[in-house]
Amino acid sequence: MRLRSVKAKTFLLFMPAVLVLFAAVLVAAYVYAKGIILDQSRYGMNEQLKSISNDIDTRLVAHTRLPEMIAHSVEDTYTKLTLQDYQSVTKGGLQVNAETFGLGIYFEAGAYNAKTKYFSTYAFRDKDGIKSTEDYNDPNYDYLSQNWYKAAVNQKAAVYTDPYFDEVTKVSMVTASAPIYNAGKQFIGVATGDIDLSTLQKTVADMKVGATGWALLIHKDGTYLAGPDQDKVMKSKLQQDSDSVLAGLGQELLQNKNGNTTYAGAKGVNHVFYKEIPRTQWILAVVMPDKELTEPLTQLLFKLCLIGVAGILLIAVVILVYSRGITVQIAKLNKLSEKLAAGDFTHHIAVTSRDEFGQMSEHFNRTTGELRQMLNKVSEHTLHAASTSEQLSASAEQTSKVAENISVTIQEVAMGADVQLRGAEETVRAMDELTLGIQRIAESSSLVRDSSEETTAKASEGNEKIQEAVAGMNQVNENAKQTADIIRQLNARSREIGKIMEVITGISNQTNLLSLNAGIEAARAGEHGKGFAVVAHEIRKLSEQTKQSAEQVGQLIDQIRSFAAEASASVETGAVEMERGTRLVGQAGEAFQAILHHIHAMDDQIQEVSAASQQMSASSEQVNATTQELSRIAREAAANAQHVAASSEEQLAAMEEIAASSESLTLMVEELRELMSRFKV
């Protein structure tokens, strides 16, 4: 959407520049203030770090003084003091410094008494007060081999041990061990002062670093000594933390000892300021969340934004007031322009100033006066042009009517010729298509005739084959019937032979019985009947052989009867199927006879159709030639009519152009008159 208001255009022209300018000023102010605030914040953090470090160091110094003081106090009198004296010394030292957990005196083997290897006493704080113990004299503990004891051997001043857990007091502590020398500068023992790490850890945990920051104390080997996460204190090392970011922070702290850095934790970015405590080589670190460190910047940015918004609103009001003054002047010119657009040239602008708007108003008034004079002259010339245009228009109208009548007549003739030509051309196309169709019919009829003749021949041949098949099937049927009769006769003869074999078997059995009886009688006759017995025996053998042969013949007869029965059944089934096949072949022969009869009838009709189509083809060619000639004549007539019509149309067009020109001139004059009537001069 395009802006039409000068006020809006002016506002949108200046406001982006103002916004960019204010944004640049805000950014520059923010960057400058950020540098100052961050420097002050870093300075404050470093000062707080120094203060905390000095406080811890002061406490360590106060604590260190106790074992050193005890060591110096017993250099000359250590053999003269009793155990009770040493207990009083250590208990009194604890009353001097409330942060010291315990004080002890430990002599070298045989230093206090040649017969005593372990001689020591240790005073420590308990919930019931200050107590003393000699439990460290236990040979199983062997304080001479402990690190806190060996660390002070041959040292010139007190040294601090690494943090450790004391098995006797059950307390995690760090020990300041001071060497004890006799008057001859010979090492004779160690005076110790212990700090309960829980006290130091509470001190570090209670330190306030800003509003949300915290302090962290780590050993020189990275072990957590104190910090907000109690689960890691005395249990893990910072550089070995599972969080890779904290592990990297630990490596940086142990390597640089002093300085500052940042790391991205789970709750955001944190700033770390760290410093080494020389006496113990511990590293004290204070951590400040970036959100708190940059909170003054956030407040400053908010104030700058408020100032910027207020400034932008003020400038916007100034721009609107200024643009309104311009808009008033433009509105006067716009109002006069609207009256001029409506044709009223009788007004002018009152000039009230000498600035650019006043000069523009004077020029506008002068231009309006010159236009008023010009319009008067145009009005006079318009009247003269109107009378001339009316005369020309009347003459052109008469001539145009005559030409139009001629053109209409010629157009009708040309249209009739065109209609006749299109009809002739359509007739030619129809005859071409008809001739082509008839030719295709003739060709198809010839092909059908040839196919019909071939079909007739094949049908005749098929009919002959079918008739032969019918005769063959009849002959086969007769043969099958004869075979069935023969098999039935064979079966009957087999039954008769079976009956005869049964008679033979019976005779054989009787003969066998008679021969047996004859043998018995011959045996009774003795020697006289021996020859008869031989004959009877032979007869029995023959009768048994006859019986066996009869049985074999009976079996063969049974097989023959079985085969004959199967053959008879098969032949009867075949005879039934042969009769059915003969009947079907006969029906096929009758069908072929009917097909052949219809094919002969169809062949005669096809012959007649082929002859008729050839006659139609010849006639259509003659008609097509005649139609072509008629089409040529119609085409020539249409061309002549078109030529005449074109000539008449050209003449009519020329007259219409003259008439149109005169009408256009008349319209122009009328429009000019109407336009002039709208102007007030």
Q: Which residues, at least 6 apart from 333, have a Cβ–Cβ distance to it below 8 Å?
A: 349, 360, 361, 364
Does the pLDDT of residue 259 top 70, yes or no?
A: yes
pLDDT value of residue 4: 58
- Cα 442 → chain centroid: 69
- Where residue 171 falls among pLDDT bands split at 50, 70, 90? confident
pLDDT value of residue 150: 94
271 forms bridges with which residues in the sheet?
262, 288
* Pick from 22-26, 246-250, 521-525: least confident: 521-525
Tokens of 43: 């300075």
Instruction: Say which amino acid occupies 414.
Output: A
Q: State the number of CA atoms in the 13 A half-sphere of 214 facing the CB.
A: 10
Query: 327, 7 in Cβ contact below 8 A?
Result: yes
**Taking residues 191-202, what's their average pLDDT?**
87
Query: 371, 346 in Cβ contact below 8 A?
Result: no
Which residue is it, tokens 């008839």? 438
Instruction: Say which amino acid occupies 326.
Output: I
Q: How many CB atoms lie within 10 A of CB 408?
A: 11
Q: In this predicted model, which residue has the larger pLDDT, 159 or 481?
A: 159
Among 187-196, 397-406, 409-418, 538-547, which range has the highest average pLDDT? 187-196
Based on the number of CB atoms within 10 Å of its own CB, is 83 exposed (0-12), middle (13-18) or buried (19 or more)? Answer: middle
- Where residue 529 falls among pLDDT bands split at 50, 70, 90? low
**Taking residues 628-653, what's their average pLDDT?**
63
Q: Which residues, at least 6 apart from 623, have a Cβ–Cβ distance to it below 8 Å?
A: 431
Query: 136, 168 in Cβ contact below 8 A?
Result: yes
pLDDT value of residue 533: 67
Whole-number Å distance between alpha carbons of 620 and 496: 91
Tokens of 206: 């209670």
**Taking residues 472-480, what's their average pLDDT?**
67
Which H/E stretch holds residue 120? strand 120-126
* Pick from 41-55, 183-197, 426-440: least confident: 426-440
Q: How many CB atoms lie within 10 A of CB 62?
A: 15
Question: Coil, helix or strand for 678?
Answer: helix
Q: Helices (DSSP H) in 227-294: which residue ranges?
A: 244-256, 290-293
DSSP per residue, 337-349 = HHHHHTTB-S--P
Whole-number Å distance between alpha carbons of 337 and 345: 10
Set out the domains of the chain in order of their start, with CATH numbers: 37-295 (3.30.450.20), 374-675 (1.10.287.950)
Tokens of 38: 């961050």
Whole-number Å distance between alpha carbons of 103 and 175: 9
Query: 201, 106 in Cβ contact below 8 A?
Result: no
Q: How many CB atoms lie within 10 A of CB 379?
A: 16
Does the pLDDT of residue 1 top 50, yes or no?
A: no
Q: In this predicted model, which residue has the larger pLDDT, 563 or 282?
A: 282
Tokens of 652: 């009519």
pLDDT digit string (tens) for 332-373? 777 777 777 777 767 777 777 777 767 777 776 777 777 777
What DSSP character marks residue 140? Answer: T
pLDDT value of residue 319: 76
Query: 535, 521 in Cβ contact below 8 A?
Result: no
132 forms bridges with which residues in the sheet?
123
**Taking residues 607-625, what's their average pLDDT?**
64
Whole-number Å distance between alpha carbons of 444 and 447: 5
Q: What is the number of residues in the chain?
A: 681
Among 265-269, 427-431, 591-595, which range has the highest average pLDDT? 265-269
Among 115-129, 376-390, 502-516, 581-595, which range has the highest average pLDDT? 115-129
pLDDT value of residue 662: 61
Whole-number Å distance between alpha carbons of 484 and 217: 129
Query: 56, 284 in Cβ contact below 8 A?
Result: yes
Instruction: Say which amino acid occupies 584.
Output: L
Q: Which residues, at least 6 apart from 306, have a Cβ–Cβ distance to it below 8 Å?
A: none
Query: 635, 421 in Cβ contact below 8 A?
Result: yes
105: left (phi over 0), alpha (psi -120 to 50) or beta: beta
Q: In this predicted model, which residue has the larger pLDDT, 108 or 405?
A: 108
Across all residues in the chain, what is the average pLDDT?
76
Which residue is it, tokens 């360590």? 60
pTM of the model: 0.43
DSSP per residue, 277-337 = ETTTTEEEEEEEEHHHHTHHHHHHHHHHHHHHHHHHHHHHHHHHHHHHHHHHHHHHHHHHH
48: left (phi over 0), alpha (psi -120 to 50) or beta: alpha
Query: 227, 217 in Cβ contact below 8 A?
Result: yes
Does the pLDDT of residue 448 top 70, yes or no?
A: no
Does the pLDDT of residue 426 top 80, yes or no?
A: no
Whole-number Å distance between alpha carbons of 401 and 530: 172
Whole-number Å distance between alpha carbons of 498 and 509: 16
Q: State the number of CA atoms in the 13 A half-sphere of 501 facing the CB.
A: 18
Q: State the number of CA atoms in the 13 A half-sphere of 427 facing the CB.
A: 18
Question: Coil, helix or strand for 63?
Answer: helix
